[in-house]
Amino acid sequence: MYGDLSGKVVIVTGGSMGIGKAIARRFAEEGSRVIDLSIGRHDDASYTHMDCDVTKTDDLKASLKAVYDQYGSINVLVNNAGIESYGSIEKMSEEEWRRIIEVNLFGYYNTSRIAIPYMLKSENPSIVNISSVQASVITKNASAYVTSKHAIIGFTKSIALDYAPDLRCNAVCPATIDTPLVRKAAELEVGNNENDIKRKMLEWGSQHPMKRIGQPSEVASAVAFLASKEASFITGTCLYVDGGLSIRAPISTPE
* Catalytic residue ranges: 145
Sheet holding 48-51, edge to edge: 48-51, 33-38, 9-13, 76-79, 126-130, 168-174, 238-241
> Which residues in 210-248 are b (16+ Cβ under 10 Å) and which e?
eeebbebebbbbbbbbbbbeebeeebbbbbbbbbebbee
CA 66, CA 198: separation in Å to the nearest integer?
42
Mode of pairing for the β-strands spanning 48-51 and 126-130: unpaired
DSSP calls for 149-195: HHHHHHHHHHHHHHHTTT-EEEEEEE-SB-SHHHHHHHHHHH-S-HH
Rg of the chain over Cα atoms, rounded to whole angstroms, equals 18
Q: Are 77 and 113 in contact (CB under 8 A)?
A: no
